[in-house]
């Protein structure tokens, strides 16, 4: 079933995305996602409302709208659209307010993400983790590996980059990812620079049919995307994981969020929320 999905917020929209994805994963949908952050005034809200209404007229189905907005005038405009609107924060705030017996603080009076002086250091650490992970994406650099909390291995298109970035962004984990390419397969071995940190290595794999389909979107009808090539690369890499007793996960049926959760549990990584 096709459906348009909007994630809207007066902030970054990360909260709306995470909660929306968690809910939608329970349904057999083929969504088209639209993330619209920083909708913090009536003018922007009116533009977004028009986009939702246009999508409704084109498809004949109400777009699913997950939003997190504090300003009442802005909220009212989104709610007046032709979307099926769900306020992902207010649905939790109202019962919590009743339980606590206190009023929530307006957005302009609180710190971003509810940060206090005590946990600002954790926020700064998460930004540093993102910088580190970007600098070590796709084998760009193997320097400063002693800082890495996890080193992801896998052939091309198994989910290394999105997983490492999600680890850094959401949990402040210093992640390195290193790709194996076709030229590595004749004499596949762990890079010598990684050997001292073998206890931090985690492998990703995937079903060859799924890998072939993903690669076809990138390089259609190429040797790189052929099912035979995918089977060969995965067999070699999985044999390497077993030889070195490297824990690994087949990512075929998992989202990035699920891959990350399983990885952190297996590797005993500390979450820095």
* pLDDT tens-digit map of 236-268: 999 999 999 999 999 999 989 899 999 999 999
pLDDT above 90 for 145? yes
The residue assigned the tokens 């994630």 is 7
Residue 45: strand, helix, or coil: helix
Q: Quickly list H helices, 60-191.
A: 72-79, 90-100, 120-135, 160-171
Lowest mean pLDDT among 107-116, 123-132, 205-214, 231-240: 107-116
CATH of 2-110, one of 2.30.29, 1.20.1280, 3.40.91, 3.40.50: 3.40.50
Tell me: pLDDT of 123 over 70: no
How confident is the model over 201-233, as pLDDT tens digits? 999 999 999 999 999 998 999 999 999 999 999
Residues whose CB is less than 8 angstroms from the CB of residue 84 and which lie 6 or more positions away in sequence, other chains included: 62, 63, 64, 65
| pLDDT, position 91 | 77
Q: How far apart are the first and last CA of the chain?
A: 35
Question: Which CATH architecture fits 120-267?
Answer: 3-Layer(aba) Sandwich (3.40)
- Can you read off the two tokens belonging to residue 109? 């009076």
Where are the domains positioned within the chain?
A: 2-110, 120-267
**pLDDT, mean of residues 134-161:** 94
Structure confidence at residue 237 (pLDDT): 97
Q: What pLDDT is recorded for position 112?
A: 46
Closest by CA to 163, choosing from 236, 262, 235, is 262
């Amino acid at each position: 079933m096709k459906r348009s999905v909007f994630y809207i917020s007066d902030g970054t929209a990360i909260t709306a995305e995470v909660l929306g994805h968690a809910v939608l994963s329970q349904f057999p949908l083929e969504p088209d996602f639209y993330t619209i952050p920083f909708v913090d005034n009536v003018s922007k809200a009116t533009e977004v409302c028009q986009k939702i209404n246009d999508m409704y007229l084109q498809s004949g189905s109400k777009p699913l709208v997950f939003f997190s907005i504090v300003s009442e005038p802005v909220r009212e405009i989104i709610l007046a659209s032709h979307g099926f609107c769900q306020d992902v924060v207010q649905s939790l705030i109202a019962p919590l307010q009743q339980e606590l017996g206190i009023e929530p603080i307006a957005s302009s009076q609180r710190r971003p993400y509810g940060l206090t002086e005590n946990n600002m250091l954790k926020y700064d650490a998460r930004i540093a983790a993102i910088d580190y992970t970007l600098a070590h994406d796709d084998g760009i650099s193997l320097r400063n590996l002693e800082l890495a909390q996890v080193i992801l291995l896998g052939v091309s298109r198994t989910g290394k980059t999105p997983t490492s970035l999600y680890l850094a962004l959401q949990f402040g984990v210093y992640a390195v990812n290193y790709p194996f390419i076709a030229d590595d397969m004749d004499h596949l071995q762990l890079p010598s620079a990684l050997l001292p940190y073998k206890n931090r290595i985690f492998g990703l794999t995937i079903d060859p049919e799924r890998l072939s389909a993903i690669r076809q979107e990138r390089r259609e009808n190429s040797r790189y995307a052929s099912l035979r090539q995918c089977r060969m690369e995965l067999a070699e890499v999985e044999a390497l994981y077993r030889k070195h007793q490297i824990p690994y996960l087949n990512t075929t049926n998992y989202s990035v969020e699920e891959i990350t959760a399983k990885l952190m549990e297996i590797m005993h990584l500390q979450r820095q929320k």
